Amino acid sequence: MRVVIIGGGPCGLTAAWELAKNGANVTVVEKDSSLGGLCKTVRRDGYQFDLGGHRFISRDHELVEDIKELMGPRLLARSRRSCILFPDRRFEYPLNMMDVLKNGAIGTNLRFALGYVATISGLSRSLSPVGSFQQWVEAKYGKPLYHEFFGPYTRKLWGVDPATLSGEWAASRIPAPRFIDTLRKSIGLSGTTKTHAASYLYPVGGIGEMFETMGARIETLGGKVITGADAGSLVMRDGRAVAIRVTDSGGGAMDIEGDTFLSTAPLNRLADMIDPTANPGTGLGHRSLRFLNIMLDGIEDLSPYTWQYTPSPQVIMTRVQEPKRRSPHSAPEGRTSVMLEIPCRKDDDVWNMPDGQLQDRALEGMSRLGYRLGPHVSGVFSTYAEHAYPLLTIQAAALRHAALLSARQYPNVTSLGRQGLFRYIFMDEAMLMGRQWARNLMNPNGHNPAHEEDYGAGSLLRESGSIAV
């Protein structure tokens, strides 16, 4: 059986790795010139920058062990520290109610505390649309904290009113505060935040090194990995896909024939490949990110934080990252760098702004936050992620379902991964989906999810063990 996989990101490559390990005939086509998808690393002048600064964590013991074996000594064990940074205040993240109360002004604290108590006691109810992001946060943290932190950050990151976003996303990604922990802390006993792992694995050469190494391993095992090959359409015959038509960077086209196809390209792109005239996924939107990568000279370390979230509308970025906090090899000896995540839409003003102009705005914002970087900047360049976040509006679930149904007409085509399922999932979840799909293909009698959605972050992942790193 010839297997063709569209996309050399975590999902596609892990599927190909699993197949190649078992001697299958597999070809991966990736439109970019390098591997990793959203998990790629760009290197320049001795500095390295991910698209957004990733970390690898998984509850799946086997996956963690496989990655350790793949990477050997190139894999570092690191720990995370994050904060929420305002021009005048800083809070540790995940939010800890005691820290919030300690760091705020007395009047603000009182509002947060009363809002929180009113919520957990049922005295205050959110009037925001049922099932929305705003409703979920107001119900867990109270209205004042929503209006101070979550509302502004979410509006800035997603570019839409949080009342139009789905609460499902908030429920899976924001740790709900536990009243008992807050109480324990308030009487001097330590509380725990169980939902966020503090330690993680990270390759010396940036997260992309994990997938570059995986690509090389697939080839050693006999698989094929073709970069710079953009899959434009599926060639159909008798109700089945028989080939994908790809274009290379020089504009040359070729057909790659196969018996089974896995697409990890964006779901609406796959729907276009199948039939551009009847694409039910057209309404599925994405939030894009532009990363401003700033190389610094004369500063060895900027801060102890892996991530600094910056909700303030006065600054253009939503997160500040210092790549050296992940791998000390991310900058030349004695220097450091920062990467700023700037949310936008493909082709809007921010996406198209010249580097120099964006740099001025970003540095002005950094200086409001207490970092005066201007004299230390030795170089700046931008990288872009068009499909950074699936825009999970309340209506998106129905559109996603319709687009998946349309792809399902063809029994030998499957759509998976973060883009392929239009789901907000992490890299290990994408990798586990790829691995499970490959195993099902080789052993159709084993655990076999009925539909693409069943590969999602639901039962498949919750069934697995419980180790972080």
Ligand X SMILES: Cc1cc2nc3c(=O)[nH]c(=O)nc-3n(C[C@H](O)[C@H](O)[C@H](O)COP(=O)(O)OP(=O)(O)OC[C@H]3O[C@@H](n4cnc5c(N)ncnc54)[C@H](O)[C@@H]3O)c2cc1C
Which residues are near ligand X by CB under 6 A? 6-12, 29-32, 37-39, 52, 54-55, 230-231, 264-265, 269, 289, 341, 385, 388, 417-419, 425-428, 430
Q: CB-based contacts of 188: which residues, under 8 Å, 6+ apart?
A: none
Q: In the complex, what is the shortest distance from the CB of residue 299 to ligand X, in angstroms, rounded to a whole number?
A: 24
Can you tell me the distance from the alpha carbon of 251 to that of 260, in angstroms, rounded to the nearest whole number? 26
Name the minimum Å distance from CB 199 to ligand X: 13
Question: Pseudo-torsion of CA 89, 92, 95, 101, nearest 10°?
Answer: -50
Q: In whole angstroms, how close is the CB of 166 to ligand X at the nearest point?
A: 18
Phi, psi (rounded to 5 degrees) for 404: -70, -40
Query: Which CB atom, from 47 or from 307, has the smaller least distance to ligand X?
Result: 307
Identity of the residue, 315 or 457, whose beta carbon is nearer to ligand X in the bound complex? 457
CB of 147 to ligand X, least distance (A): 25
Name which of 12 and 205 has its Cβ closer to ligand X. Answer: 12
**Beta carbon nearer to ligand X, 119 or 406:** 406
Nearer to ligand X, 178 or 245 (CB): 245
Task: Name the minimum Å distance from CB 401 to ligand X.
Answer: 18
Per the CB < 8 A criterion, the answer to whether 74 and 217 are in contact is: no
230 versus 248: smaller Cβ distance to ligand X: 230
**Is the C-alpha dihedral spanning 405, 407, 412, 417 positive or negative?**
negative
Given the complex with ligand X, which of 34 and 109 has the nearer CB atom?
34
Residue (18 or 181) nearer to ligand X, CB? 18
The secondary element (H helix, E strand) that includes residue 236 is strand 229-237
Distance CA 41, CA 209 (A): 7
Q: For residue 227, which phi and psi values (nearest 5 degrees)? A: -100, 165
Q: Dig out the tokens for 241 from the structure.
A: 């896909």
Strand ranges (E), 251-398: 253-257, 260-263, 286-296, 307-309, 319-321, 336-344, 377-390
Shortest distance, CB of residue 387 to ligand X, whole angstroms? 6
Q: Which residue is nearest to ligand X (CB)?
A: 9
Shortest Cβ 428–ligand X spacing (Å): 5
Closest Cα partner for 271 from 466, 415, 442?
Answer: 415
The contacts of residue 397 (CB under 8 Å, 6+ apart) are: 166, 168
| Rounded least distance, CB 114 to ligand X, Å | 35
